[in-house]
Amino acid sequence: MRILGIDPGIAIVGFGFVDKQGSKVVPVQYGCIQTEAHTPEEERLLHVYEGMKQLIDKYKPDAVALEKLFFNRNVTTAMAVSQARGVLVLAAVQSGLPVAEYTPMQVKQAIVGYGKAEKKQVQEMVRMFLKLQVVPKPDDVADALAVAICHAHSYTLNSKLNEVLRR
Q: Is 7 annotated as a binding residue?
A: yes
Our CA angle for 26, 66, 57, nearest 5°, is 65
- Which active-site residues does the annotation give? 7, 67, 140
Q: Is 67 labelled as part of a ligand binding site?
A: yes
140 is in an annotated binding site: yes
Secondary structure of the chain in the HEC alphabet? CEEEEEECCCCEEEEEEEEEECCEEEEEEEEEEECCCCCCHHHHHHHHHHHHHHHHHHHCCCEEEEECCCCCCCHHHHHHHHHHHHHHHHHHHHCCCCEEEECHHHHHHHHHCCCCCCHHHHHHHHHHHCCCCCCCCCHHHHHHHHHHHHHHHHHHHHHHHHHHHHC
List the binding residues: 7, 67, 140
List the binding residues for Mg(2+): 7, 67, 140
